[in-house]
Amino acid sequence: MKILQPASLAFLLAALFAAGSAQAQLKVPAPAPGAPPAAAPQGNVAQPNMPDPLTKEFHACIQKVQDASQAAKAPPDPVAATACFNGEIKRQEGKIASGTQRVDKGLKPDEKKRLDDANVAWRRFRDVECAFFAEPKASPIEAANNAQCMLDRTIKRALDMEGLALAINEKGMGAGPGAPPPPGAPTPGAAPAPAPAKK
């Protein structure tokens, strides 16, 4: 199943370079003081004015592909584009690993096992889904489509892990031993507050 024809690869690269795609704008903002902890991101919801999670190495790589395409007055080289996508997939996988390590610190052993199982299942799903859309070992265009799909899904997962780590960190800040009590909570050892008088 082909998604892109050679001429339309230029549109993909331009759109990815310019906007980073919708899911690339996902980020959990830091909660305001006193606000409830932010939840992990759900779905593909773009947030305005959020940093682009694509690395500068990826942007530089894609820029070279675009420059070469313009100089040759030809569509972008799908092999070169695939190399850019694959390099960024590895970098985003590193973000997933880092986010997972941060999440692990707040989990119990059985929860860590479930997270590991979820990450294995997610990778299997990503690989199979992207192979459905485009076969990685077929034509160069198919390989570029597959790599772009893999990058798209990997960015989402990296952002999900970042959001989950932030949510767990915020949740743990008020729950751990030695953490300050929430506003209005009784001081340890103090007499309980009297119940309000009934009218």
Q: What is the pLDDT of residues 183-194, one digit of tens each?
A: 454 454 555 555
What proportion of the chain, given as a percentage, has pLDDT over 90?
Answer: 48
Closest CA to 164 of 112, 110, 123, 91: 112
CATH code assigned at 135: 1.20.1270.180
- Quote the pLDDT of residue 31: 40
Tokens 């989950």 belong to 164
161-185 as b/e: b if 16+ CB within 10 A:
bbbbbbbbebeeeeeeeeeeeeeee
Q: Count the domains in the chain.
A: 1
Residue 124 domain-assigned?
A: yes
Distance, CA of 68 to CA of 131 (rounded, Å) = 28
Give residue 164's domain range: 77-176
pLDDT band of 30, cuts 50, 70, 90:
very low
Residue 45 domain-assigned?
A: no
Residue 62 domain-assigned?
A: no
What proportion of the chain, given as a percentage, has pLDDT over 70?
Answer: 61
Residue 54 domain-assigned?
A: no
Least confident span in 25-29, 69-73, 79-83, 132-136: 25-29
Q: What is the mean pLDDT of the chain?
A: 74
pLDDT band of 50, cuts 50, 70, 90:
low
